[in-house]
Amino acid sequence: MPLTDIFDLINDTDMQIPGGLIVTRSQFTTAQNTYGDFIPSAPTIFRVDPIMVHTASARDLLQLPEADRQFETICAYTQVRLYCDESFQDVLTYQGRLWKIVKIADYSIQGGGYWAAAQLREQVAS
């Protein structure tokens, strides 16, 4: 299936997750107050809607480092840029579990969307 077809599905109401997903974006920069103490920045929490999520296929897993293929992995297609670099780290809350973004692909030029692989990190207390 061409990428443009996949990103057309993001806007299809039958494929969307109702209400979207909650994303927690942590910034790795710290501020220093007048006493010389380093204060980590507070995470930003926002909702991404529309978003389409599915379990990772074998082909998706090949894009991850071999040591990381043992973790449960999902793939998300969205029109919002998610991050997993040195300055920002995004964590998805999906089905009551926390998923850390580990790989990003920017397909905004081909079809106006982003692909992200996320791996299970921990359960959220209910």
Give the residue, 119 or 19, on which the prediction is more confident. 119
What per-residue confidence (pLDDT) applies to 106?
87
* pLDDT tens per residue across span 9-38: 666 666 666 667 888 888 766 677 788 787
- Alpha-carbon span 68 to 70, nearest angstrom: 6
pTM for this one? Answer: 0.74
Contact 106, 117 (CB under 8 A): no
What per-residue confidence (pLDDT) applies to 71?
83
Band of pLDDT at residue 123, cut at 50, 70 and 90: low
Query: Does residue 69 surpass a pLDDT of 70?
Result: yes
Calculate mean pLDDT across residues 63-71: 79
Complete domains list, the chain, with CATH: 3-29+41-123 (2.40.10)
Calculate mean pLDDT across residues 77-95: 86
Of 100, 107, 42, 59, nearest to 81 by C-alpha is 107
Q: What are phi and psi of 118, to 5 degrees?
A: -130, 140
Band of pLDDT at residue 1, cut at 50, 70 and 90: very low
* pLDDT tens per residue across span 87-102: 788 999 888 889 999 9
